[in-house]
């Protein structure tokens, strides 16, 4: 397990959760609020760098909590749809080799479809 990557992912995940919680009483879908765009773009770039330098952050690399954080970041990368789509093959591979649950892939696939439907 890479503790540095794991901690970084968990910190970024907590940062996103705090930001969403701070506005969720003011909007129906806080993850889509434009005020969060810079944060979610930054999160997507962080995940992209991890994938390019290592692989999808799955169980072996970052543990179950880190893998959950990575899936959350990927699913909420809708402000960077090209990056969001690029995460799917890496996550698909991780699911195929038992490094991530199939549910993560299903959620990402659904989010990508939603973004495409809105375009």
pLDDT(8) > 70: yes
Predicted confidence band at 29 (pLDDT cuts at 50, 70, 90)? Answer: low
Predicted TM-score (pTM) of the model is 0.92
Distance of CA 109 to the CA centre of its chain: 12
Mean pLDDT of 42-66: 98
Q: How far is CA 69 from CA 4, 17, 45, 51, 58, in A?
A: 14, 10, 14, 14, 10
What single-letter DSSP state applies at residue 76? T
> Taking the CB of residue 41, how many other CB atoms lie within 10 A of it?
14
Mean pLDDT of 60-67: 98
| Residue ranges of domains in the chain | 3-118
pLDDT(25) > 90: no
More confidently predicted of 116 and 88 = 88
pLDDT(60) > 90: yes
CA distance 96 to 78: 24
């Amino acid at each position: 397990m890479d503790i540095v990557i794991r901690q970084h992912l968990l910190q970024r995940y907590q940062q996103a959760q705090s930001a969403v919680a701070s506005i969720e009483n003011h909007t129906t879908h806080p993850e889509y609020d434009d005020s969060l765009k810079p944060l979610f773009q930054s999160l997507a770039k962080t995940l992209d760098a991890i994938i390019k330098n290592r692989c999808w952050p799955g169980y072996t690399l970052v543990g179950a909590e880190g893998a959950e954080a990575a899936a959350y970041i990927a699913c909420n990368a809708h402000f960077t749809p090209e990056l969001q789509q690029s995460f799917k093959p890496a996550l698909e591979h991780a699911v195929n080799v038992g490094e991530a649950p199939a549910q993560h892939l299903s959620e990402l696939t659904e989010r990508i479809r939603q973004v495409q439907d809105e375009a």
